Amino acid sequence: MEPSDLSLLATLDALLQEGSVTKAARRLGLSTPGMSHALARIRERLGDPLLVRAGRSMVLTPRAEALRPRVRSLVEEAARALEAERPFAARELERTFVVYTSDYVLTLLGPALDRVVHAEAPSVALRFVPITTDDSAPLREGAADLSIGIYGELPPEMRIRQLITDRFVCVVRKDHPTVKQRLSLDQFLQLEHVQVAPRGKPGGYIDDVLRERGQERRVVRAVPYFMTGLMLVSETDYVLTISERIARLMAPRLGLRILESPLPLRPYALQLVWHPRLDGDEAHRWLRDVLLRVSQEIASDVHPNPRTRLDPTDPTSGESRKRPPRQRS
């Protein structure tokens, strides 16, 4: 590879990341005509237009979309190779980390995570983004550093560490008119339900369990946030099936009663997920370690036999339902 190829690679990366000649020029400190000339050279070399006009904006061609994560990874690797080796010091770190997760994780781990990060790396910024139907895409493309959740199929190259386990319980308001100290299955089916659906999809594990028994519940409110679901139940006669750890944390504050679920529901494990290109990044490794330490501090107990992934037929996994729900043993 010629030295000019490295410069061309950085130019291509800016064009693919920005999707605009003007923005790419600004990113690299070049003139717009200079960037246009560079784009022409790259087009000739690759035999593809890369950027094509769509109305008033430019869009990437399929070849450009395919190249985008590969070129980004190469440029990042080249930048790391040119950095002088020095001992890692979290206190000197100035960086923004992007983490995809839910408000459940932030409510449970957020305060302790903030305390540790502030003490060890006061110049680090954390930007949290709601989980999506495909968190692996921003991890692969470099738009996110970490993702925390329970997932369906993930690309085989993704790195995964278990953070915490949890189980399901039911919550109602303390002065609920019909539910007392125990919730029967008949009551459970007669009540109106709130569902927390972080990825915005209806149905899920609880509805699958009911379906296998030939039963169904009536979900009258579906919300994307755990805290919203808890607050809604605190002021209505609805019932909510939710993770026990956040239920026990918030029940005293919201005036909620926690009840055992009348259904046999397996516990689950939350996973910490990242792309292998960041394995050797010491700052990234430090943040992963902080999350593991905080998880041990807040939720060290481990539930037996937890589900570690969403079933591919679960609509909340983000995968399409290609067959009827299979019978579980």
Amino acid (one-letter) located at 256: L
What whole-number distance in Å separates Cα of residue 161 and Cα of residue 273?
7
According to CATH, where is 1.10.10.10 located in the chain? 3-82
Q: Give the per-residue pLDDT at 80.
A: 76
Q: Which two tokens stand for residue 18?
A: 């920005």
Q: Looking at the predicted structure, is the pLDDT value of residue 127 above 60? A: yes
**Buried-exposed string 189-210: b where 16+ CB fall within 10 A, e elsewhere:** eebebbbbbbbeeebbbbbbbb
As annotated, the residues of the chain forming the CATH 3.40.190.10 domain(s) are 90-165+268-317, 168-259
The percent of residues in the chain predicted with pLDDT above 90, rounded, is 64
Question: Is residue 114 predicted with pLDDT exceeding 60?
Answer: yes
Amino acid at 49: P
Q: What is the CATH number of domain 168-259?
A: 3.40.190.10
What 3-state class would DSSP assign to 219? Answer: strand
**Distance separating alpha carbons of residues 80 and 170, to the nearest angstrom:** 49
Tokens of residue 37, six digits: 């000339």
pLDDT surpasses 70 at 22? yes
Which stretches of 275-327 are assigned E, i.e. beta strand? none
The model's pLDDT over 54-105, given as tens digits with 9 standing for 90+, comes to: 888 889 999 999 999 999 988 888 877 777 667 889 999 999 999 999 999 9
CATH number of 90-165+268-317: 3.40.190.10
The C-alpha atoms of residue 89 and residue 285 are separated, in whole angstroms, by 12
Query: What does the mean pLDDT of the chain come to?
Result: 89
Averaged pLDDT for residues 187-204: 91
Residue 250 clears pLDDT 50, i.e. is over it: yes
Fold (CATH) for 3-82: Arc Repressor Mutant, subunit A (1.10.10)
The pTM assigned to this predicted structure is: 0.70
Q: Is the pLDDT of residue 329 over 50?
A: no
Asked if 210 and 182 count as a contact pair (C-beta separation under 8 A), the reply is: no
